[in-house]
Amino acid sequence: MEVLGNGLRRLLLNSRNSSALKNCHAATFTRLMSSGQQLEYIIKDVKGEKKNVGLIQLNRRKALNALCDGLMSEVGQVLKEFEADKNIGCIVLTGMDKAFAAGADIKEMEGQNFSDVWYNSFLSQWNSVEQCKKPIIAAVNGYALGGGCELAMMCDIIYAGEKAQFGQPEITLGTIPGAGGTQRLTKAIGKSKAMELILTADRMSAVDAERAGLVSKVFPVDQLVDEAIKTAEKISSYSKITTAMCKEAVNASYEMSLKEGLHFEKRIFHASFATDDRKEGMTAFSEKRKPNFTDS
């Protein structure tokens, strides 16, 4: 949902005539997403020594990466491409130094009513991030407010630059977080801290976010993306089928009781014994060599 604090909100609202803040609903643009064809709102790349890390950079700079439908549609399409690429084992999602994403696009939302958002399932295409089977690392520099904070929380790991700021200021716009802010933030940092951030529209620094458990690690701004790629390379070196199992089991813990979660974990653990990679991993350990995983 909309993330803009008072200063950022004024900046964008005062720029209504700027080409950067044109309504960018996906239906108004014709985009061809396949290899070699242009993306309008994001930059995609493949990183790592073995070219096994997918990189998505939000690139709507003049609008501080405000998350319009067109941008999120492109993110979803590129995630599908990376999921289909058998060489890629992990994905890094980042923005720019000033803003990871300063929020959802106000102009895109302000003219809509209840029936519009209900029948069009507004924000539903954001689900492509949480539904991706491959791990996603959010590398957050600058503002991650409202929808930007929610987008980061959809990812599996959050790394932050030392100047990053997190928050859910939707209350200043007369609405509430609508893309997971009330749920994921509460599960990440607890009811009291989440309630304070959501009810006051205050921001949380990178250091405080790490202490609270929202962020895994904090890095200097100029090292953030490189460090995220290093971690992604390490994850990509393991069996992709086992990585997907780990991700599914950890995510299930948010939706199950401890008893149910332990049962689910045991079932996934047992299922791993049907894979070639489980056999290879244990054999390699016994033979004191590196495993040669085949993702099968």
Give the C-alpha distances (Å, rounded to integers) separating 123 from 57, 83, 108: 20, 21, 11
Known active-site residue 104: yes
Query: Residue 65: which of 15, 114, 100 has the closest Cα?
Result: 100
The number of helix segments (H) and strand segments (E) in the chain equals: 13, 10
DSSP H/E element including 205: strand 203-205
Please identify which of the residues 147, 161, 167, 281 carries the catalytic annotation. 147
| Contact between residue 5 and residue 169 where contact means Cβ atoms under 8 Å apart | yes
Say which DSSP state 241 is in. H
Spell out the residues 6+ positions from residue 208 whose beta carbon is closer than 8 angstroms to its own.
Answer: none
Give me 64's structure tokens. 């501080």
Known active-site residue 108: no
**CA–CA distance, 98 with 62 (Å, rounded to integer):** 11
Q: To the nearest 10°, the Cα dihedral for 125, 96, 4, 11? A: -120
Please identify which of the residues 104, 138, 139, 228 carries the catalytic annotation. 104
**CA–CA distance, 85 with 223 (Å, rounded to integer):** 27
Q: Hey, how many other C-beta atoms are within 10 angstroms of the C-beta on 196?
A: 12
Please identify which of the residues 170, 210, 227, 233 carries the catalytic annotation. 170
Q: In what order do the strands lie in the sheet with 143-145?
A: 99-101, 143-145, 165-167, 203-205
| Contact between residue 82 and residue 91 where contact means Cβ atoms under 8 Å apart | yes
Alpha helices in 14-137 (DSSP H): 69-84, 106-110, 114-119, 127-131
Give me 29's structure tokens. 């643009």
**Which neighbouring-strand residues pair with 157?**
137
Please identify which of the residues 2, 74, 108, 150 carries the catalytic annotation. 150
Catalytic machinery residues: 104, 147, 150, 170
